[in-house]
Amino acid sequence: MATPSPPSTCAVVGVGVLGTSLCQQLLSSPDFAHVAVTGITKTTARHDDIRKQVMSTTTASAENEQRLRLVTTDGVVQGERFRDVVFCAPPSGFDDYAAAVADAVENLWEGPQGGGVFCFTSSGGVYGPGDSGTVTEATPIPDPSTSPRIERLARAEEACRKEGGCCLRLAGLYNLNRGAHNFWLTSGKEVTGAPDGIINLLHYEDAAASCLATIRAGPAVCQGKVFLMSDGHPVTRRQICEFGLKANIYKDCAMPSFAGGDCFALGKIYDGSVSNKLLQWTPKYASFDEFMTSNA
């Protein structure tokens, strides 16, 4: 059977660290060699920096650079639709997050009938604080009214899924310079929460690769679905600091103190094995410890 042709257009809404990595991977992957990538931001303030970052780790060629277009929300051509759309803008930039997602679904995406995917990057935070138990894609979330964060994410997920989009519930994102470890090791402040509280992690590059995996999988696999993405190696707050101290960049930092916290907020263990199988995805960085050790 012939391999389906790759999508011709893809929009990335929100081109921060995650969106930039996704643009890099779209332009670098042979599977998407003929895809025109449009990065959509609120302002043009970072466009030059975004382009430099994308092209710095993308196969350098005039053709690849021409495939990347950066526009503001208002700069999208009226009536323009994209076969695939990845919404990875954070909720902090919107008064009504769900409305922003719904607007992108309605006004940017061709819909599942176009053969593509709408992917919304949600968060495992939608499961609430947790009690050290295991959660999967099928685990019910708490009553959204119990938490503004849960409500914001749940409403945004609903706006995505009811129109045939899919949601990626991502673990805590990190790279060498960004993430809880960076703040805890460099701020000089006490860490809020119990040292044995569980945190699930995912490297930014792997999060972007999971978005790419939804596009590869297509609507037959992804339409209306929820996926749970992590590296499969949950760690404690103390371990995050211990492993972070292995990296050369943090060699002069000290282990912070821990303030403790409510005993019930022990975190959750993510089991995304079903998602990994459906999306045929595995993380490049197998664990936070492995990544930090590699930067020693």
pLDDT at 8: 79
**9-294 is a CATH 3.40.50.720 domain:** yes
pLDDT digits (tens, 9 = 90+) for 180-195: 999 999 999 999 888 9
Euclidean distance between CA atoms 292 and 107, whole angstroms: 41
* Cα-based distances in Å from 127 to 94, 103, 261, 268: 21, 25, 18, 8
Contact criterion met (CB below 8 Å) for 153 and 122: yes
Per-residue buried b or exposed e for 16-52, using 16+ beta carbons within 10 Å of the residue's own CB: bbbbbbbbbbbbebeebeebbbbbbbeeeebeeebbe
The mean-pLDDT minimum among 78-82, 162-166, 213-217 falls in 78-82
pLDDT digits (tens, 9 = 90+) for 44-64: 999 999 999 999 876 656 678
pLDDT at 56: 86
Question: What is the 3-state secondary structure of 109-150?
Answer: ECCHHHCCCEEEEEEHHHHCCCEEEEECCCCCCCCHHHCHHH
